[in-house]
Structure formats: structure tokens, C-alpha cells
């Protein structure tokens, strides 16, 4: 089972993990990395320690902001240590994405093949629901006339 690290500024990752486990039950492959929670925090040390505990297992890291310091630190670490085959980094953390990845059942090869579809599906979950309601209301009004 592939490990998943939710990585964010402050406690977003922890909250995301709790929400995912509320909906999906116990998800032992899921962990959270809450960066910059104290003045002494060192993100490079945190990344190094987390990967050392995984002993070369494949890991998917889901970060909060593309191009943010957490995302950039993971990207730099993976590049500097040539971990391209071990670590997959995804940005734009949201609950639907976390659940779909955490509940994926299949081997690493199947995950790599499915990941583009997972990302595409989750991009479509970002929408203006108020506009949908307005459109539905206009359709209801038109049908009543």
C-alpha cells in the first residue's frame, strides 16, 4: 500500500486527515505534515525524517499550494536526492482528491496509470455552486411559464 503524506502550512494537513478519516474510516497509509508550526521548525529535516521512516516505500505527497514553500521544499528535496521513482508530489490539496487517492485500491503501476484521471476528475470538482443554483432557478421559472 502506497503511503500518503498530506503536507501544508500550519494545521491544514491535520484537519484534512481528520476529515478524510471521518468519511473514509481508518486510513493507516495517511499521515499529515504541518509545516511552520513553531519558530524552530525545519522543513528539510521534517521531510528527511519522514522519508527515512518509510524505508524506500513509494509515497504520494499532497501539498496545499502549488509553488508554495511546502510544495517547493518537497520538489527540491526530491530533485536533490533523485527520488523521482519513490515520491510523487501533487499540489492543490482538497478533500475529494485526498479521499480518492487514499481509497484507491490497486498496485503502484495501476495508481500511476490512473493518477492523470484522478487529477482531471478532481479539477472538475471546483465549481461555482451559486451559478448552478441560479441556472436551476431560471430553468424552474421558465418551466412554470
CATH number reported for the structural domain that contains residue 89 in this entry: 3.40.50.510
Decide: 51 and 79 in contact? Cβ < 8 Å.
no
Structural domain of residue 110, as residue ranges?
A: 3-144
Check residue 73 and report its DSSP letter: H
Decide: 74 and 29 in contact? Cβ < 8 Å.
no
Of 95, 59, 56, the residue nearest 74 (C-alpha): 59
How large is the average pLDDT for residues 70-96? 97
Confidence of residue 49 (pLDDT cuts 50, 70, 90): very high
Would the CA dihedral through 133, 134, 136, 140 be positive or negative? Answer: positive
Residue 46 in this model has a pLDDT that exceeds 90: yes
Residue 81 in this model has a pLDDT that exceeds 90: yes
What local confidence, expressed as pLDDT, does residue 1 receive?
67
Of 110, 51, 56, 120, the residue nearest 90 (C-alpha): 120
Measure the CA–CA gap between 64 and 9, rounded to whole angstroms: 7
Confidence of residue 135 (pLDDT cuts 50, 70, 90): confident
> How many domains does the chain contain in total?
1
Report residue 111 as a C-alpha cell: 495508481
Amino acid at each position: 500500500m502506497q503511503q500518503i503524506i498530506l503536507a501544508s502550512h500550519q494545521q491544514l494537513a491535520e484537519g484534512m486527515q481528520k476529515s478524510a478519516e471521518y468519511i473514509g474510516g481508518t486510513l493507516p497509509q495517511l499521515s499529515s505534515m504541518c509545516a511552520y508550526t513553531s519558530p524552530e521548525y525545519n522543513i528539510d529535516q521534517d521531510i528527511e525524517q519522514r522519508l527515512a521512516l518509510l524505508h524506500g516505500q513509494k509515497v504520494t505527497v499532497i501539498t496545499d499550494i502549488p509553488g508554495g514553500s511546502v510544495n517547493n521544499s518537497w520538489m527540491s528535496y526530491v530533485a536533490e536526492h533523485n527520488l523521482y521513482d519513490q515520491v510523487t508530489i501533487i499540489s492543490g490539496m482538497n478533500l475529494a482528491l485526498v479521499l480518492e487517492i487514499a481509497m484507491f485500491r490497486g498496485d503502484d503501476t495501476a495508481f500511476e496509470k490512473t493518477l492523470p484521471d484522478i487529477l482531471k476528475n478532481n479539477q472538475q470538482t471546483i465549481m461555482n455552486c451559486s451559478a448552478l443554483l441560479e441556472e436551476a432557478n431560471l430553468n424552474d421559472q421558465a418551466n412554470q411559464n
